[in-house]
Structure 1
Amino acid sequence: MMKQRGQVVVDKILDTAERLFYLQGYSNTGINQVIEEADIAKASLYKHFETKADLLVAYVQRTHERWFSRLEATLNKVADPKDKLLALFDHHIERQEIRQYGGCPFIKANDEAGMSDSRVLAAIQQAKRHSKDLIKKLVAASGHKRILTDRELAEMIFIALEGAIAAASVFKGPAEIQTAKKIIQKLI
């Protein structure tokens, strides 16, 4: 199925914004740079995104959709419920390697715009809640050792992942995510 012209333009804009917002930050990326690097007319951008904040919200939402789709594909390859929990860590290592340990795109966007735009914050919170809900579902199905309640283990995994990704972005390597995975493996 061919994309409609408007969707092609939107994808060009979002692809460019995604790259620039992630690499150089939302605040350091100007609309004119997005327009120039997407090779589109200014009117085309404003036809689809009235403001830079609208573009950021769309970026966060699309990043969330793509992130979750890739994560589900990874988890669907794993049969054992406990291994699914551990696959979360492997998936995040792979994503951080691809991003050269640049950190979480949602945390980065939150640091720059989460406090100033409630729509950005809501989109980021939705992405993080989605992650937490998935972890809760995986924990409930895992048959873990019951050292912790399902709720406690789900929170522990979420916090361990979030912290490990932040640490990996500082130390530019997978060691912290691998260590978090080993710790969680002892709990399940």
Structure 2
Amino acid sequence: MIPTAVAPRPPAPAKLKILEVADRLFYNEGIHTVGVDRIINEAHVTKATFYKHYRSKDLLIVAYVEGRHLRAKYLIDEARANLTDPAAVMRALATLIGQIATRPGFHGCPFINAAAQFSDAAHPVRQAVSRHRAWERALIVDVVAELGHPAPEDAVDDLVLFRDGALSGSNVGDPERAYRALARAVERIIAERSAGAGEQLLSA
């Protein structure tokens, strides 16, 4: 008899509630300013329940970062759905960043914010942030490769920096101006692709 696959059990409601509360508090108020007791009180769980599902605050923070990664992946997949032109994908991603940065309650990039609170690059939270950023960079590498940019590594470095700058600038300044600056940077990179293709034709 071939064994049948067993569907994974869904997370316990208490575990989901703890993470939901932690996600809100960590993002709105800062990771280090929110204690475990506050999370337990607002999630309406016992201390034993908390430590059953999350053995430490650090593990909860990692779960928070990983949850934000899944949310970002969903939004990016949705933004680029049915788009095949890499230039259109780049514009769609820039628009998504603009939409996120202008939403009420925006307090900056959750990954940059989390990394800023853990100085040790080997800390599990920093590693979770690094995994997200490696995934994001790989996505940008793929788009730039499809774009046919004449200096793809430079273009990827620029795009990552523009993305970080737009989100950080939106948090401390004018979100609309930060988005427009990002959009202009994206258009410059797209235009560099076109210019590079023209130079190749002239030299052929």
Q: 1:185 and 1:104, CA in 2 relative to 1: closer, same or farther beyond 3 A?
A: same
Which amino acid in 2 is paired with 1:76? Answer: A
Q: Deviations over 1:70-108 (max 9, x none)?
A: 111111143321010121111111222235331000111
**1:151 shift after superposition:** 1.3
TM-score after normalising by structure 2: 0.83
TM-score after normalising by structure 1: 0.89
- Structure of greater relative contact order (alpha carbons < 8 Å, 6+ residues apart): 1
Partner of 1:8: 13
Aligned match for 1:49, one of 50, 54, 61: 54
**1:116 shift after superposition:** 7.8
Which amino acid in 1 is paired with 2:158? Answer: M
Q: 1:116 and 1:90, CA in 2 relative to 1: closer, same or farther beyond 3 A?
A: same
**1:160 shift after superposition:** 0.7
Partner of 1:112: 117
Cα distance in 2 for residues equivalent to 1:15 and 1:136: 32
**1:177 shift after superposition:** 2.2
**1:174 shift after superposition:** 2.6
- Computing the radius of gyration from Cα coordinates, the structure with the larger value is 2
Where do residues 91-170 of structure 1 align in structure 2 (5 Å cutoff)? 91-98=96-103, 100-115=105-120, 118-144=123-149, 146=150, 149-170=151-172
Cα distance in 1 for residues equivalent to 2:51 and 2:122: 19
Q: Does structure 2 retain, via aligned residues, the 8 Å contact 1:53–1:117?
A: no
Cα distance in 1 for residues equivalent to 2:44 and 2:53: 15
Cα distance in 2 for residues equivalent to 1:5 and 1:82: 39
- Which consecutive residues of structure 1, in runs of 5 or more, have no partner in the other structure? none
Q: Secondary structure at the match of 1:26?
A: coil
Q: Deviations over 1:125-149 (max 9, x none)?
A: 11111111100001111234x3xx1
Cα distance in 2 for residues equivalent to 1:124 and 1:5: 25
Aligned match for 1:25, one of 26, 30, 37: 30
- Which consecutive residues of structure 2, in runs of 5 or more, have no partner in the other structure? 1-7, 191-204
| Deviant stretches of 4+, over 4 Å | 3-6
Partner of 1:90: 95
- Name the Cα RMSD after superposition: 1.9
1:181 aligns with 2:187: no
Higher share in helix: 1
Partner of 2:64: 59
Q: Does structure 2 retain, via aligned residues, the 8 Å contact 1:89–1:178?
A: no
